[in-house]
Every structure is written in structure tokens, then in C-alpha cells.
Amino acid sequence: EAGVTQFPSHSVIEKGQTVTLRCDPISGHDNLYWYRRVMGKEIKFLLHFVKESKQDESGMPNNRFLAERTGGTYSTLKVQPAELEDSGVYFCASSQDVASGRIEQYFGPGTRLTVT
């Protein structure tokens, strides 16, 4: 079974540019999460999809961040325009539906974003 994949693994962009991160969850997982770790700090929740619907987007820092999950499969996270403080590692995770009782979240390798 393939794990959670993320693309790209690294991205270096200039302040003001746009970047789009992609996450492909484990097949069949309804829940998809985005997290971010800013250098040296804790990993923080950004948002949670259940299938194609946003269940919780309370962690999104501001309206420069836009997440989508069309068709309930892969998800994209767009940052536009990027600022220096957006630098960090962006993790995606997925889990099966709550009804199954399998609550473990499986993480992708992360995308390291550097804004210069």
C-alpha cells in the first residue's frame, strides 16, 4: 500500500511569489490534514478535509493560504503571495473514516518551503 506522498519535496521561492503544494493521501482515506512546522517550533495544525469538504480550517494563518481537495482525492495548498514567515516544513497526513475507529494519521515526508 502506497503511503502519503507530497510534491515537491523542496521549494525555494522569492517573497511575493506563489507556490502550490500537493498531497496524495493513502487510497481510501477520507480524512486529509495539513500541518506546518516553522523552524524549531512545534508542528501546528492548518486544516482538515473530510472527503472534499473542509471540516476544520481554524489553523489557517491568513487568507494568503488556500487549500482545496477536489473530488475528495488529492489536495493542494496554495500560498499567494508568499511571505518570509511562511518558510517551514508543510506536512500532509491522512486517516481512515472515524466510523472505522482507525484514528491514526499517516504522514507524508513533508515539503520544505523556503521563502527568500
| Residues in touch with another protein (CB under 8 A) | 4, 33, 35, 40-45, 48, 55-56, 59, 91, 93, 103-110
DSSP state of 99: G
Closer to another protein by Cβ: residue 56 or 83: 56
CB of 52 to another protein, least distance (A): 18
As given in the structure block, the three cell numbers for residue 93 are 497526513
Minimum CB separation from another protein for residue 14, in Å? 26
Q: Return d(Cα 40, Cα 42) in angstroms, integer.
A: 7
* Distance, CA of 81 to CA of 43 (rounded, Å): 22
- Return the H-helix or E-strand segment holding 110: none
Length in residues, the chain: 116
- 106 contacts 26 by C-beta, under 8 angstroms: yes
- Please identify which residue in the block is written with the cell numbers 498531497: 23
In the bound complex, what is the minimum distance in angstroms from residue 34's beta carbon to another protein? 10
Write down the least CB distance from residue 16 to another protein, Å: 29
